[in-house]
Chain A
């Protein structure tokens, strides 16, 4: 079919996938080997839990961080890299600004999402209400950064591995429509800093965003 293998769920994918990738790298095939290694240190110490981690993340979050994103695609012969800046403006503003190799900005403000492509000369706004699954996704992101564990747990099964010094926070979507887009989101970090975010898609695509500490 013209739309590839997932023609039937195309409208859903179109709407739902739209924003998942706002703050995440593009999809890429992923080997299973890469998925498993960090499952060490499963034992959670009783005084170390999700709430504490998220609270410390929120307390120490920076207004701006740099990122480098690697996107693998089965359409391509080699991965593609982009650089940029992530911004969080409490309580509900998020921005992903790709600065290289081209200039594009994705800005979430409450319910509104703004796309601004300097290179392509596009400028569009849409409402998160139009994309309920994505809204769930964005809310989860925001709640992680805004210390809102309640909201996070409404959308995801949250598991924490490791120890405060080095931890992995796994999010598995609870909602079926989100599950069709995303298998898991994996935040990994050291102490109160997130060092990378990986997203695994059901079709095996994967993307990795590594975050550089500190503002530029």
Chain B
């Protein structure tokens, strides 16, 4: 190495260091998963996505304390809940204490005549009052009497009880010492709603860590509580754990893969400095990718970074090609110049493939596409213009690769194997029963079965089922949305009666529209009429005279009171519930109606068709999110098709020989068909991630096929080419083979697809390469 090359290297490394520092200090690495989601095309879709991003359901944390006797657990629950309430990080903390404050009950009671659905025109007629009074007599002799006795003088028609019953749609968990417990008393239960959105990973992680710390403090201070365990679930908790699992896995597997690749490269080239240099293009590519993405998008997502580096694995091939072609006599810049046209073609074509990601319209994939493209070009440039000048002088691989080349060239005689395998592969597709596409994105989630089960158990015990079906009612004002949902409720009640629906939640149930409230006020008769009806109704019943004076007063007040608005519920647990059921979105009001127990979704959808015109939309969240992902998958697939076409055109322009283009494209096409068929036979269903991996396979395959079809002169040169290719593909297979061992479905999909794809591309490219007609090789291979 000359002095000049040392200086060049030093300058480049300093530049890299500076860029790394700049990226580290100026790049915003996002962990909020929702930033990867698309914006949504229709207002309803946007509403759904907003709900998904920031909705109340996503902000729930379900907590259980277990591992000690019930009394200890109850104490710990109270302490932990107190800490949580004081922490200011939660909208709401429920553990069974403070269900309703006295003041809240008082407020409800005072507004009973506008809030109760029992208040109708007939409610205060003589006959109906008589009926009510008789029921109150029964109440007085029943075991329930203490509960209702004190209410009777002010509320003989039982409106307060009607309200409580209507609102008791949620069955609270069992209780012990005033706090919630599982029915077997083994777990104390808490339910909290965080300020931070469920997908805001950083805040969620921080919050959950604080919570664990607070718990440890609680468990540490109370005697005997050391054995108490804390278990949490909920969207935010699962997301954090999911991220951790992915990070752990990626870290572990990357370490393993890096070790393997380093060993392989060292064995292949026997030089530490060359080994170090081979990482230069990759490092430059990653940094350039990060800078480009943050410049365009304003931030880079952690997932983009992780998957992007994976995709950039392809650039490791470039320095390998260079090193493999170096000989004792050659000079690196000259060698580079020689192989550059082939490499350049490969780079451009691969970049075209990655551009499919850029255009997908899925922010996550767009970032990935940009990252990979910029990285690809950077690595190519570094390999082309920097690396040749810093390679140690006289470096060359000791292995000439001749034996490998001969062996590989011998393969060309078995080229008929390729169409045969492709036909078998296509046949296996046609005759297979396995669904082609993964329709349920839930299957892609890395949540462990235990975690899934724990979530279900806690949800069941706390009575907060995962909402799958909901109706969105829109209106230009709060009042309009409430009125519409009230009309809808009548239809839903019918479905509940026929059993097509188990139940539903409705904002108007807690906060009736002004119209409804005014109608109820109007159905309360004036004092004179009411008194007359009451006196007549009381005739013959043993109620003390004058007992119902409080009732007459309250009814009189109700006639003229201000209708109740959402202010009344502010700061109560019910207020939080209302906020999640009724809110403003993009200048319009939306009432969300979560449904329980929809028996037949298709039928239910049909039932709601007549309502469709009134801005009432039924959403099956699971289906909706699956549909959205399928949509993006199809979009990516379509773009991939265009990408392949573009690659073909670029190759045609570069190679100028249609036959050679075919020679390059055919092995890749065959490899993809065969790999897809093998994965399919293994029971894999294809998702967006498989398609992204196929993109990478195309990139790798192009590289292999182009070099295989390089017209190089000597046998030795060919040997070096083949040697380089074998090293390239082995590194790829090692890296992605390791990834295929991951138990995270997405990583396994990428690893398996790419490892198999790389192998198939190499083998097929070798099989279909132009058979060396010139005697030297032929003679060499036919040596017995």
Residues of B within 8 A of A75 (CB): 140, 149, 152-153, 543-544, 547
How far apart are the CA atoms of A74 and B137 in the complex, in Å?
Answer: 12
A21 within 8 A of B: yes
> Contact: B135 with A129, CB < 8 Å?
no
Over the window 197-209 of chain A, the binary record of Cβ atoms lying under 8 Å from chain B Cβ atoms (1 yes, 0 no) is 0000000000000
What CA separation (Å) do A181 and B146 show in the bound complex?
Answer: 10
In the assembled complex, the CB of B203 is this many whole angstroms from the nearest CB of chain A, namely 34
Question: Count the A-B residue pairs with Cβ separation under 8 angstroms: how many?
Answer: 113
A82 close to B (CB within 8 Å): yes
Report A-chain residues with C-beta under 8 Å of the C-beta of B176: 129, 132
Q: State which size class the interface on B falls in.
A: 35 or more
Shortest A35–chain B CB gap in Å is 20
B147/A7 in contact, CB under 8 A:
no
Contact B141 A69, beta carbon cutoff 8 Å = yes
**Structural contact, B146 and A17, CB atoms closer than 8 A:** yes
Residue of B nearest to A102 (CB): B138
What per-residue 1/0 map shows which CB atoms of A1-35 lie under 8 Å from chain B? 11110111011011001111111111100000000
Question: Can you name the residue of chain B whose Cβ is closest to the Cβ of A76?
Answer: B542
- The answer on a CB contact under 8 Å between A21 and B542 is no
* B106 beta carbon closer than 8 Å to chain A: yes
Residue of A nearest to B106 (CB): A2
A129 touches B143 (CB 8 A): no
State how many residues of chain A have any CB contact under 8 Å with chain B: 50
Q: Is B550 an interface residue (CB 8 A)?
A: yes
> B219 near A: Cβ within 8 Å?
no
Give Cα distance in the complex from A71 to B150, angstroms: 15
B178-186, B504-512, B677-685, B693-701: which lies at the interface: B178-186
Question: In the complex, what's the smallest C-beta–C-beta distance from B72 to chain A, in angstroms?
Answer: 16
Known A-B contacts A76-B140, A76-B543, A80-B140; A26 and B110 likewise in contact (beta carbons under 8 Å): no
Partner of A130 from B146, B154, B175 at Cβ < 8 Å = B175
Bound Cα distance from A20 to B543, whole angstroms = 24
- Give per-residue flags for A44-80: 1 if the beta carbon is below 8 A from chain B beta carbons, else 0: 0000000000000000000000000101011111101
Decide yes or no whether B385 CB sits under 8 A from chain A: no
Q: Are A104 and B152 in contact (CB under 8 A)?
A: no
Contact with A along B143-172 (1 / 0, CB 8 A): 111110111111000000000000000001
Q: Which residues of A contact B150 (CB under 8 A)?
A: 3-4, 6, 10
Residues of B within 8 A of A82 (CB): 141
Q: Whose C-beta in chain A lies nearest to the C-beta of B96?
A: A130
- Smallest CB separation, B181 vs chain A (Å): 6
Contact B175 A132 (CB under 8 A): yes
Check if B339 is an interface residue, CB within 8 A of chain A: no
Given the interface pairs A75-B543, A129-B181, the reply to whether A2 lies near B143 with Cβ below 8 Å is no
Report if B714 contacts A (CB, 8 A). Answer: no
Complex Cα gap A81–B137 (Å): 11
CA distance A115 to B181 in the complex (A): 22
| Chain B interface residues (CB < 8 Å from chain A) | 99-100, 102, 105-106, 109-110, 135, 137-138, 140-147, 149-154, 172, 174-178, 181, 183, 185, 542-544, 547, 550
Give 8 new A-B contacts, CB below 8 A, not counting A7-B106, A75-B543, A78-B542: A3-B105, A4-B150, A14-B147, A73-B140, A77-B544, A80-B137, A81-B141, A106-B143
A-B contact pairs, 25 of them (CB 8 A): A2-B109, A4-B150, A7-B102, A10-B150, A11-B100, A11-B105, A13-B146, A14-B147, A17-B146, A18-B147, A22-B143, A24-B143, A26-B142, A26-B145, A69-B141, A73-B145, A75-B543, A75-B544, A76-B543, A78-B542, A106-B143, A117-B142, A120-B138, A129-B176, A129-B181
A residues adjacent to B (C-beta < 8 A): 1-4, 6-8, 10-11, 13-14, 17-27, 69, 71, 73-78, 80-82, 96, 98, 101-102, 104, 106, 111, 115, 117, 119-120, 127, 129-132, 181
